[in-house]
Structure 1
């Protein structure tokens, strides 16, 4: 008589098949020699190291695996929403401005209400800035050139978690010891993110998501500098167009 397989074996195989892994490729991910065939036949037990790998790579709930829970995955969502909200004297939510100097202390004062009161705040009476929390940060360094210049300001919209963020979005990333403005590249695993600079002189930085305290999606920027070259470029384009048009007219006359 054929013995029924334990529930953890059945669910182990279910995980592998759902992830479209072969027994060999799944074994490589989990650090198992050769393949997972013996586990799926019930000949080998699921060891502690395999269980840890299932949690780390796929957020599998061990209680679900052993039939003690209906929730297959662990909730590993990290809260990146603002730790403090500010209100103006008019009882509106204000946009706090964090300059370069203040940004150095921001991660360490992230929940200090008195510290926020020392920072300037304002409101923008436009529809797109309603029903959401925004914060302004001053850009430091040249890692985001040519899009963002040093001393410009970016306005970020609060993000509740990395999961709700679109890939390749530019964000203000508040970690435990620094504040960075970077493009976000999400990994297949929710455990890591890459922070990408637009300036190619700066290599990508890979961080663990648990290092993030707050996340702000950049929506707009405030700049006190005008691009003087923009007008010259536009004038040059007009001149080139006129020259091309003149040459075309002369060619038509010569053909006639």
Structure 2
């Protein structure tokens, strides 16, 4: 049986409705409806829309997610029905924060829309992070000091790009990877971001490349911060500022 057939049977049983009642509501015969529950045939799109409206569950959920395992209440729909985020809590009621390890960071780009993949990730709970969906991502490189390899940035899911705040830092999940940057401004085509390490130039992330956005909530370091690394970054930053001043001086002479 398909996910769809399993789901509509499950939803109907939860509603304590008969096959005849559902069939009457969507204007088909009971025999035809039973073929959909038994997986012997698939409904055409116009009928699938009616089924979706009757059960008050969007089509994306009906055909992709096992609703016996993930209830509708535990899922958050993203814009354009592109993906779903399972909302889980532990036995004490604390929000579960999934941890995306470095080795799984590229797999996340393929599995972020798969609740089973997300459910397979390790998780933790932080009692001071409430009222939202949080997820931990690995920091990579030296563009956002003092965060580097061994640091996890915990982000709060951003539902609308209009909620981005100038000067705040965000994790952008894009088709090319996971990036942690400071937000500057946006337009219809994309978001303009920069690194705290001024060695790296600001750039634009195109909206059509963005899957998810997470606002910085806290960080978790798994390694000691090395002072010499910070000093090295500061020295490089000083040279970058000096280079900028030289360019400005040349323009005015």
Query: Could you say which TM-score interval applies, normalised by the shorter chain?
Result: 0.5 to 0.7
- CA distance 1:184–1:79, change in 2 (3 Å): farther
Is the contact made by 1:97 and 1:137 (CA closer than 8 Å) also made in structure 2?
yes
- CA distance 1:190–1:167, change in 2 (3 Å): farther
Query: Deviations for 1:76-99, whole angstroms, at most 9, x for unmatched residues?
Result: xx6799731242452643100011
Is the contact made by 1:144 and 1:182 (CA closer than 8 Å) also made in structure 2?
yes
Structure 1 segment 198-217 matched on structure 2, within 5 A: 198-217=196-215
The equivalent residue for 1:65 is none
CA positional deviation for 1:185 = 1.6
Bigger relative CO (Cα 8 Å, ≥ 6 apart): 1
Structure 2 unaligned residues grouped into runs of 5+: 1-78, 229-253
CA positional deviation for 1:169 = 1.3
Structure 1 segment 120-135 matched on structure 2, within 5 A: 120-126=122-128, 129-135=129-135
The equivalent residue for 2:103 is 101
Structure 1 segment 7-22 matched on structure 2, within 5 A: none
SS in 2 for 1:84: strand
TM-score by length of structure 1 reads: 0.53
Answer with 1 or 2: which has the greater Rg.
Answer: 1
The alignment yields a C-alpha RMSD, in angstroms, of: 2.8
Distance 1:117 1:88 in 2: 12
Query: Deviations for 1:47-98, whole angstroms, at most 9, x for unmatched residues?
Result: xxxxxxxxxxxxxxxxxxxxxxxxxxxxxxx679973124245264310001
Distance 1:103 1:153 in 2: 12
The equivalent residue for 2:193 is 195
Is the contact made by 1:79 and 1:160 (CA closer than 8 Å) also made in structure 2?
no
SS in 2 for 1:199: coil
CA positional deviation for 1:138 = 1.0
